[in-house]
Chains A and B, each alone.
Chain A
């Protein structure tokens, strides 16, 4: 699959068993998924294909992120539609899915009166690893998340950051193909958040484990993800590689000497989206959407035709925030009008 997403430095091993059949398959495939809670529609007719990547699941609180994760883990049954995770149907093969997938919940979910090593080892066994291998994996993974020294301490003495690391360790201790991280930076101080983001980044790039990173913080997703899925009110707004957002949805800011209104009308007359807006400095700007490279030729030709001088032409990539606000806004407007 050509996704435009950078490959991890070390690919996840593909066992020779039946899992080999899904080696090149998307990590998540969702078709027509709908889930309601009473009259509240949590997920609405979701169609989604997610490649092996570090995927950001973006949406405001109540957008349907956690419901989608719980559905993909096979923990709740959808009203309609199907979902496959790492090649297994979430409804009929939920145990197989959960054997191969890790989950870090948003809420604090750790027992207080046990050591990190004991608990993480137990969670490895709960994913099917033999006892000895589970203990070894627990020690290795706690080292990876920076808790080697503290692994034999009771969890109740841990700070918030350390507890988050234990939650992360238990999610990857069984070497899953995919890990769901539900708001992993929630409630952390700036330093702890930075460290957690570094760890999340390593999970895909160094460990080769695909990541679905649920968050409502755009900056976090932009920092660690290669692919973004945007949800709003249970609807899919966008699903695309993050690196391509600027190229696909970029804009140019054009400054001219001459009749601005005629120039703008001429551009618009050629079917290109154009608008005039005030910059942060209060300067009136002409902003033209760039959907393909020919738009640059069209701007030059129009300037010649309208006898205006092009003073500057400045590329402005759309940030994830622009995309989010633009797409979500458009979808809400469409829904409202509809």
Chain B
């Protein structure tokens, strides 16, 4: 790669202007960078954006995009169909928010099991972590960026379709604008529940993923773990016959969110939720504790290895 400058006249181009050759090839040499350096903030933004793209399979092979596309389709297409049917047949009952959140929870769980391992496992498995920690970020920045990327991406599944549902319900009303004003409280509750689900599932999914460098193991543990906990909660609830059985609800994540949906929207049909009958703050404290513990575990996993 020694410095070279060669000229090659383009065929039929005629004589070049004096001193300048058509098709002239220059060695670009090495140019120093003299532009702005945006520091840690830019590094953080880049890490969040890059992590989201990678988890969605963007700029990866087409096979990496299949599952996210299928899950988004599964979450959004039924909503659009429902809105369409309600528009042409107003007598058809729209799904309640509680029913919708209960129905989509499994899809959200699978979605998190797909994206959370993709966020952190390859960095550890392919030993890219030292390269990240040698850039303009701290270890805490790395953890926060990965958490943010996971939660934001999960919100596109837990929040976006729910907001579409809210809009759909208002749009088929006789007076959509008036309906929106009347039901703005519902929108706030939809956003609250969507964010809670995203924060909880995103954080727990990322915590489990941070414990292994194998994506397959993380995916399996997340899905099987959630399923086993739910089965354990339901079984315990059926078997135990005392006041204490109401506490089994804290093992079943889907039932915890069903209980929260019941507080926010009502209309939840679940024995466990009915029997548990905890106030809303109890569920919120439970979520906060689990999220904090998960964050501490993730932080511990990325502590300096002195």
Contacts and interface: CB of A to CB of B under 8 A. Distances in A.
A55 to B, nearest CB: 18
A75 B304 contact: yes
Nearest to B127: A109
A123 B136 CA distance: 10
Contacts of B137: 95, 98, 126
Nearest to A12: B32
Interface stretch (A137-145, A224-232, A238-246, A268-276): A137-145
Contact of A126 (B46, B59, B61): B46
A194 B112 CA distance: 47
Contact of A94 (B54, B132, B138): B138
B135 A126 contact: yes
Interface in A88-117: 94-96, 98-99, 101-103, 105, 107-115
A313 interface: no
A175 interface: yes
B304 A76 contact: yes
Contacts of A95: 39-40, 136-138
Main secondary structure of the interface of B (DSSP, over half): loop
B248 to A, nearest CB: 42
- Centre residue among B29, B46, B132, B137 by max chain A CB count within 10 A: B46
A102 to B, nearest CB: 8
B4 interface: no
B60 interface: yes
A332 to B, nearest CB: 27
Interface in B116-143: 122-123, 126-128, 130-138
Contacts of A286: none
A234 interface: no
Interface residues of B, number: 41
B304 A128 contact: no
A235 to B, nearest CB: 20
A108 B129 CA distance: 11
A140 B138 CA distance: 28
Contacts of B43: 125-128
A207 interface: yes
A76 B306 CA distance: 7
A110 B128 contact: yes
A141 to B, nearest CB: 8
B32 A13 contact: yes
Contacts of B8: none
Interface string B30-66: 1111111111101101110010001000011100100
B59 A118 contact: yes
A134 B49 CA distance: 14
A77 B138 CA distance: 13
Contact of B38 (A73, A128, A140): A128
Nearest to A122: B50
Contacts of A174: 33, 37
A129 B37 contact: yes
Interface residues of A, number: 51
A122 B46 CA distance: 7
A304 B218 CA distance: 84
- Centre residue among B29, B34, B45, B128 by max chain A CB count within 10 A: B128
B20 interface: no
B1 interface: yes
A75 B132 CA distance: 11
Interface string A136-177: 010010011010000000000000000000000010001100
A213 to B, nearest CB: 16
A192 B160 CA distance: 51
B35 A129 contact: yes
Contacts of A207: 30, 32
A77 B304 contact: yes
A306 interface: no
A123 to B, nearest CB: 7
Nearest to B130: A105
Contacts of B128: 109-111
B185 to A, nearest CB: 40
Given A109-B126, A125-B43, A174-B33, A114 B306 contact: no
- Centre residue among B30, B50, B54, B137 by max chain A CB count within 10 A: B30
B133 A109 contact: no
A143 B1 CA distance: 9
Given A12-B32, A98-B136, A146-B1, A113 B40 contact: no
A107 B127 contact: yes
B60 A113 contact: yes
A102 B131 CA distance: 9
Interface in B1-40: 1, 28-40
Contact of B61 (A113, A127, A208): A113
A126 B30 contact: no
Nearest to B43: A126
A175 B1 contact: no
A13 B35 contact: no
A37 B304 CA distance: 13
Interface in B95-123: 122-123
29 contacts: A37-B306, A75-B134, A94-B138, A96-B136, A98-B136, A103-B130, A103-B131, A103-B134, A105-B127, A107-B127, A108-B126, A111-B123, A111-B126, A125-B43, A125-B46, A126-B135, A128-B39, A128-B40, A129-B33, A129-B37, A129-B42, A131-B46, A133-B36, A140-B30, A143-B28, A144-B30, A170-B131, A174-B37, A206-B29
4 closest Cβ pairs, A-B complex: A125-B46, A175-B33, A126-B135, A103-B134
